[in-house]
Amino acid sequence: MPVSPRLTVKSQLSEEQLLAHIDLAALPQHIAIIMDGNGRWARRRHLPRIAGHRAGIRAVRQAIEACARLGVPYLTLYAFSVENWKRPHAEVELLMGLLREYLKKEIAELNRQRIRLGVIGRIGELPLPVQRDLQTALEKTRRNTGLRLTLALNYGSRAELLDAVRSLLEERAGNGSLPLDEETFRQHLYTRDLPDPDLVVRTSGEMRLSNFLLWQAAYAELWITNTLWPDFTQCDLFQAILDYQKRERRYGGLGMARS
């Protein structure tokens, strides 16, 4: 019987204390984060929503630096969903502007840390200037061999699944012997070059996946915190990893304790 995800409170341990307890031999290989709470962070401070989004960039840096510091191979950030187009036009334009600003300013730092940038989603529907800046960033980091940082932009898991089915049917039309199994289907997902996430982190206390990596997160461990995204630090990610390392991943089996 599935267990509801636990809401985690902020640890009182220092960064060094948390880091000292992490087993570097048992790290999650792929961490995916639903970055939520920018608007609430701004509202509580009587600031415009864009101030929350801008503050959220600091948290992005914290998460990236924590993963690079530990040696986590893959990090995926849910940056802009297909549903986010429903937001006011001015806010969407500001978000696109912040994305372009981030891509231009952070390339040197990504290269310094040997971080390779990737992107998943319906990228062709993004504004052309954003597409150009993304392509430039992808090209400038493609030879890096460290952390694989993937941005989910104009992403929705249902859209991804539909796109995968369309792609699979087109390929099958030209090759009737194409098998219909999980591995073949996986090769048509946006994430075909990434392992499934081991750990999905969500900030702001919301208990849902919000159309994020529904296929890929089938057996991921969920870690949810009340912390709003702009307040998310390396300590929070270290705590998420520590909690992850205390869990037994059974993948539908009985596990060691009951075998």
Q: Which residues are catalytic?
A: 36, 84
From residue 108, give the alpha-carbon distance in Å to each of 135, 145, 247: 15, 15, 37
Angle, CA of 247, 253 and 258, to the nearest 5°: 70
Contacts of 77 (CB under 8 A, 6+ apart): 32, 33, 35, 60, 63, 149, 150, 151, 152
- CA-CA distance, 23 to 29, in Å (whole number)? 13
CB 194 within 8 A of CB 30: yes
Q: Which residue is it, tokens 């159309």?
A: 211
CB 69 within 8 A of CB 243: no
Contacts of 214 (CB under 8 A, 6+ apart): 157, 158, 161
CB 38 within 8 A of CB 57: no
